[in-house]
Each structure stands twice: as structure tokens, then as C-alpha cells.
């Protein structure tokens, strides 16, 4: 436990805990990542319980995580996700003995989130991302075409993002709107995009740099 007094050890612990927590949500690994992440966070908070209650810090962590998931799946606005991220950062940074120490572990947490998307290139993505976010419950009268079976003709076409991508959102191409997903990157609304591939109703895009 005393090893966690070392700022670099804490950096590694929080980095791995964050990486595996968000990795568990993104890919199918049968709960392995989630269990390891929980143990790492628990060890960290128990070590810091002299400064703050571990239960309080774990509550902030869980509530923040839930807000990020809520924004990503349903709200798709970004503001709720930012609030969730702030709560999670407070959970890991508040128990630290100094501002510098807190800054280091907060940076480790953010780095873990960013690199967790790399798991999508190694492990199969969770099915509910496609089911919940790609098959929008919006009627065709609203101009959406999420339920169409084939979009092969869209490959290579360019358009713009109608909503922010976290990493799912809505695009517009030639006056029509479609649900799409990036390869893990976040995009802002009204950004130029290009369709990379199509698999049934799953449209994969990237930012168009041209």
C-alpha cells in the first residue's frame, strides 16, 4: 500500500484503472477489465481514506461514469458527459496530498480514457453500441434513414456532422441524414466528414481533412 505514496505508482494505477473501466464498456471482455479496474480503484481509495472517505470517492466515480454513459447513449449533447468527467476527476484528485499530485493522477485518468478506444481495434465491440445508438428511434418522416438495410452507395461520399459524435451521432449527405459512428474519435457538429465503410446500417465515418 505504501507504494501508492509515490506519485508515479499512483499515476500507473489510475491510468490502468481508467483504461480498463472504459475499455469494459467499449468491448466484450466478459467483465475481466471491469473487475481489475474496480480492484485498482478500491486499493487507491482505501489507501487515501485518511484524507477522504473511500465510499464518497467511489460514489463520485460511479455517478460520474453513469452520467458519461447517459450522455453518450441518450442525450448526445456533451454537457452531461463533461459534468460526469469532472466528478470522476474530483474522485481521483481530491484524496491526494497536494495539487501537483492531484494534477498527475487526473492526467493519468484522462489518458486512460483516451487510450481505451484502442481496445476497439483488438477486441469485438459491445453489441449494444450499435443497437442503442445506431438504430435511432426516429421516424422516416423526420428525415432519418437509420433503418434502411443497405447504404453501400454512401462509401466515399462526403458530408457534414449534424450532431457531435461521442463517438456516435448524425450526419447529413446530399440533403439526407443518417446515423453513423467514428472509429472512436470525437467530432463536433457541423464538421466535414467522409464515409469510410458501410456494414448494413452501420456507417463508419471520419473527419474529412480535404
Can you give the pTM of this predicted structure?
0.55
Containing domain of residue 200, as a range? 127-207
Residues 158 and 133 occupy one common structural domain:
yes
Query: What CATH number does the domain containing 180 carry?
Result: 2.40.50.140
**Per-residue pLDDT tens digits for 60-85:** 888 888 887 776 666 666 677 788 88
Residues 71 and 45 occupy one common structural domain:
yes
Residue 90 CA, chain-centre distance (Å), reads 18
**Per-residue pLDDT tens digits for 133-187:** 454 444 444 444 544 556 778 888 999 999 998 888 999 998 889 889 998 888 9
The residue out of 121, 142, 161 marking a domain boundary is 121
Residues 40 and 141 occupy one common structural domain:
no
The predicted structure's pLDDT at residue 127: 61
The predicted structure's pLDDT at residue 210: 67
Per-residue pLDDT, averaged over 116-140, amounts to 64
The rounded distance, in Å, linking the Cα atoms of 175 and 140 is 14
Instruction: Compare 46 and 35 and report the one with higher pLDDT.
Output: 35
**Burial class of residue 184 in the structure, from the number of CB atoms within 10 Å of its CB (0-12 exposed, 13-18 middle, 19+ buried):** middle
The residue out of 99, 121, 143 marking a domain boundary is 121
Per-residue pLDDT, averaged over 111-123, amounts to 88
Instruction: Compare 137 and 32 and report the one with higher pLDDT.
Output: 32
In contact, 182 and 206? CB cutoff 8 Å: yes
The predicted structure's pLDDT at residue 49: 64
Amino acid at each position: 500500500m505504501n507504494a501508492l505514496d509515490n506519485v508515479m505508482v499512483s499515476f500507473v494505477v489510475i491510468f490502468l484503472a481508467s483504461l480498463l473501466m472504459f475499455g469494459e464498456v467499449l468491448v466484450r471482455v466478459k467483465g475481466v477489465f471491469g473487475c481489475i479496474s474496480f480492484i485498482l480503484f478500491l486499493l487507491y481509495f482505501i489507501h487515501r481514506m485518511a484524507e477522504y472517505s473511500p465510499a464518497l470517492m467511489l460514489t463520485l466515480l460511479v455517478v460520474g461514469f453513469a452520467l458519461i454513459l447517459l450522455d453518450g447513449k441518450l442525450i448526445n449533447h456533451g454537457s452531461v458527459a463533461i459534468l460526469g468527467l469532472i466528478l470522476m476527476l474530483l474522485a481521483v484528485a481530491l484524496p491526494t496530498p497536494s495539487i501537483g499530485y492531484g494534477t498527475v493522477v487526473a492526467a493519468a485518468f484522462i489518458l486512460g480514457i483516451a487510450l481505451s478506444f484502442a481496445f476497439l481495434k483488438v477486441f469485438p465491440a459491445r453489441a449494444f453500441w450499435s443497437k442503442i445508438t445506431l438504430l435511432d428511434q426516429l421516424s422516416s418522416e423526420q428525415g432519418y434513414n437509420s433503418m434502411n438495410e443497405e447504404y453501400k452507395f454512401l462509401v466515399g461520399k462526403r458530408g457534414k456532422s449534424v450532431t457531435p459524435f461521442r463517438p456516435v451521432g448524425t450526419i447529413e449527405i446530399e440533403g439526407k441524414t443518417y446515423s453513423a459512428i467514428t472509429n472512436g474519435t470525437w467530432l463536433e457538429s457541423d464538421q466535414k466528414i467522409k464515409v469510410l465503410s458501410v456494414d448494413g446500417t452501420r456507417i463508419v465515418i471520419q473527419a474529412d481533412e480535404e
